[in-house]
Amino acid sequence: MCGRYTQYQAEVRYLERLNWQAPLAFEPSEEPLERYNVAPTTRVQLLHRDEDGLRISAVPWRYAPHWAQAQRDGKPRPHGKPVINATIEEAPTNPYWREAWKNRCLVMADGWYEWVADPEGNAGKQPYYIRLKSGEPMFWAAIGQFPRGAQAQPSAQDGFAVITTASERGMVDIHDRTPVVLPPDAAREWVEPGLSSERAVDLARHHTEPAAAFEWFRVGKAVGNVRNDGRELIKPLPETLAADPSLIKEQSTFDLF
């Protein structure tokens, strides 16, 4: 899985899709987030559950455990480069993820980008955008460290990583790894207090959205620059639309163009 995704809908829209019926520990915003090029290390709106209900916190997309961080000039600095993804094969048992695995959370997303070798043989790689065919928001399984409780303050050690799994069928042509995308019922269970490690692994392995639920298409290379951000980044290239007119959706459904 590559390191860019979109998070452009409003918090209330993600909660509608999640069909959350339990208490909320915050007032969800109706303002669209409008992020079309989320990059690693930036702060991202993350769903997690506290004692008083579901909460959204702005948490950096990168993770390093506290024992892997050294003090320099009074500030924590990780040994080596923090990571942004954790494989489902290693996260439940690898000591690096021991604490983070206990802190499960959800990434709200609308799609993500992958880069593949340009089929026309041009220099550089061709970006593809991947989303649910339904146009609905999606929820990625994630783990990390984040503020707890209404009075909690952000910490320099806060961060999260996305759980990834092996790609299925046609998706493997784009990339061999994908985020663990949970349907709403499994996503709600993922953040339940007291969820066992065994059940979490089962959810991530056997209760995800199938490859057939997704579609992907070529987009412009402007997404490769983290300074670029806007809905034009997820617009299919003209030749893609010509080859597959079904990608032209009603704006009321996808709000893309």
Which CATH number goes with the domain that contains 192?
3.90.1680.10
DSSP codes joined into one string, 96-138: GGHHHHHSEEEEEESEEEEEEE-TT--SSEEEEEEEETT---E
| Start-to-end C-alpha separation, the chain | 26
CA 202 to chain centre: 19
Tokens found for residue 68: 């892997």
pTM beyond 0.75: the answer is yes
Nearest Cα to Cα of residue 21 among 58, 57, 49: 49
pLDDT tens, N- to C-terminus, the chain (257 residues) = 668 999 999 999 999 999 998 889 899 999 999 999 999 999 999 999 988 899 999 999 999 987 776 544 455 554 557 899 999 999 999 999 999 999 999 999 999 999 988 766 666 889 999 999 999 999 999 999 988 776 677 788 899 999 999 866 545 455 578 999 999 999 999 999 999 999 999 999 999 999 899 999 999 999 999 999 999 999 999 876 555 666 655 333 333 22
Q: Could you give the residue numbers annotated as active site?
A: 2, 114
Share in percent of the chain as helix, strand, coil (round to 5): 25, 35, 40
Count of structural domains, the chain:
1
- Report phi then psi at 51, rounded to 5: -60, -30
What's residue 229's pLDDT? Answer: 96
Q: What are the CA-CA distances from residue 83 to residues 33, 55, 66, 75 (Å)?
A: 24, 24, 13, 19
User: Domain of 67?
Assistant: 5-254
CB burial readout 147-163, b (16+ within 10 A) else e:
beeeeeeeeebbbbbbb
- DSSP secondary structure string for all residues of 165-179: EE--GGGGGT-SEEE
